[in-house]
Amino acid sequence: MSRNTDTDLIELLRSVKTIAVVGWSPNPGRASNSVARFLATHGYRVVPVNPGHAGKKVLGETVVAHLSDIEGRVDMVDIFRRSEKAGEVVDDALQYLDGLKAVWMQLGVVDDAAADRARAAGVKVVMDRCPAIEIPRLGL
């Protein structure tokens, strides 16, 4: 597994504008909810992805059921799913999201095979980290 340097993370976080949060929860006590809110308050367009809540309005966006339902460009997919499900999300992202720059797997989420597939497609990968921790740490 390759490690991302601080410079890598800064460049990535400065280059993305739209982030799909896969596994978003409407529960404000869940990390996926608070991270999505954090990202939105830091100027990112956040598209929540959760089939059980599709159609609801959140953070100025409509929750979608699947990555394939997103209209417009997505720069990064932030994955809030168990490690064993992350590969499916990465494969969907690679299939449906043209121009994807990165997949970001949250704290505790690691799938080296999925990371290898993403990198082979020219997509950057961050695993086992949280952008809501990295952004303040990096002074962004």
Contact 8, 35 (CB under 8 A): no
Burial (Cβ within 10 Å: 0-12, 13-18, ≥19) of residue 37: middle
Q: Is the pLDDT of residue 2 over 80?
A: no
In CATH, what number does 6-137 get? 3.40.50.720
Flag whether pLDDT at 1 surpasses 50: no
Q: Quick one: what percent of the chain has pLDDT higher than 70?
A: 99
At residue 89's C-alpha, the angle toward residues 54 and 13, to 5°, is 90
pLDDT at 3: 80
Q: What is the pLDDT of residues 22-80, one digit of tens each?
A: 999 999 999 999 999 999 999 999 999 999 999 999 999 999 999 999 999 999 999 99
Residue 140 reports pLDDT greater than 50? yes
Helix, strand, coil shares of the chain, percent, nearest 5, are 40, 20, 40
Structural domain boundaries in the chain: 6-137
